[in-house]
């Protein structure tokens, strides 16, 4: 598979409900090199793994994450199949057909601390890519809470960025800058679907270690990852499920391939049928 690593996007979210313990355990069982999660702050200050501003799509409840307590969210079932509409109608054939399985621990809200604990308990190196969501009610509090969580686990100041078990990401440039100021030793990714002239030339801001283009952008500009690599910057590409896109990432030299199907993507990168 070379230098490319498979990142399980919200876990093995094509096979289990996203951001649940079950989805992440399946991803680990399939050999994912890293896990990806979205991070938000509850009303009572806890970091939870939820993509949307509201819990309506992914749970049996309703409401805004920032207006709900962790206790209230813990009473909801998050092992539901409420997927976003795909980019193409053709992708509807990939809608999951399996029923959500698992006990209560695999169906409830997952906290960032729990997911980080799962990562650190592995017998092999596994990284966690944590995306802070914006805009949000509490502004920069999510980055402050993330920094504090890493400090509690003793990993907010790694000796070298390559050794960091956590990578911070955001579409918000201000969020990435804030986090870098608080935890300069933890690597960061600036996510984007459109590239500035500087980024197209292979240049990133000093506070971003990796570029995070969408696979749609990479389709339009397949040389982007190579130009970034020539300047010493690796690429994290999202979200890569189609076989042609996996091959595109392989040819383009993408370092981290974020996918909802870690098992199939890993097999394709390794050169075997997925």
Given the residues 19, 46, 51, 83, select the one marked as catalytic: 51
Q: How far is Cα 16 from Cα 96, in angstroms, rounded to an integer?
A: 8
Per the annotation, the verdict on 9 as an active-site residue is yes
> Pick from 35, 179, 168, 164: which is nearest to 110 by CA?
35
153 among known catalytic residues: no
Cβ atoms within 10 Å, residue 82: 13
What distance in Å separates the CA atoms of residue 163 and residue 183, rounded to the nearest whole number? 14
Q: Classify the phi-psi angles of 78: left when phi > 0, otherwise alpha if psi is within -120 to 50, otherwise beta.
A: alpha
* Residue of 9, 19, 46, 83 with catalytic role: 9
Cα separation, 209 vs 232, whole angstroms:
9
Residues with active-site annotation: 9, 51
């Amino acid at each position: 598979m070379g230098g490319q690593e498979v990142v399980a996007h919200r876990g093995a979210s094509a096979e289990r409900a996203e951001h649940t313990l079950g989805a992440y355990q399946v991803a680990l069982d399939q050999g994912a090199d890293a896990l990806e999660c979205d991070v938000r702050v509850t009303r009572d200050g806890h970091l939870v793994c939820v993509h949307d501003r509201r819990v309506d799509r992914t749970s049996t409840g309703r409401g805004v994450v920032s207006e709900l307590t962790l206790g209230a969210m813990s009473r909801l079932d998050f092992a539901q199949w409420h997927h976003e509409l795909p980019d193409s109608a053709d992708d509807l054939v990939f809608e999951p057909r399996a029923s959500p399985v698992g006990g209560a621990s695999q169906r409830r809200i997952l906290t960032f601390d729990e997911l980080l604990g799962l990562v650190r308990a592995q017998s092999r190196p596994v990284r966690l890519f944590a995306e802070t969501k914006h805009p949000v009610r509490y502004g920069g509090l999510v980055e402050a809470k993330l920094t504090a969580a890493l400090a509690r686990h003793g990993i907010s100041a790694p000796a070298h960025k390559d050794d960091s078990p956590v990578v911070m990401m955001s579409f918000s440039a201000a969020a990435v800058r804030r986090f870098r100021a608080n935890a300069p030793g933890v690597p960061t990714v600036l996510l984007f679907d459109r590239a500035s002239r500087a980024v197209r030339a292979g240049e990133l801001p000093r506070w971003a270690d990796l570029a995070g283009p969408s696979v749609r952008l990479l389709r339009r500009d397949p040389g982007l990852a190579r130009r970034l690599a020539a300047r010493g910057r690796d690429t994290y590409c999202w979200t890569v499920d189609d076989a042609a896109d996996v091959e595109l990432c392989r040819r383009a030299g993408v370092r981290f391939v974020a996918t909802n199907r870690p098992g199939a993507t890993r097999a394709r990168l390794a050169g075997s049928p997925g």
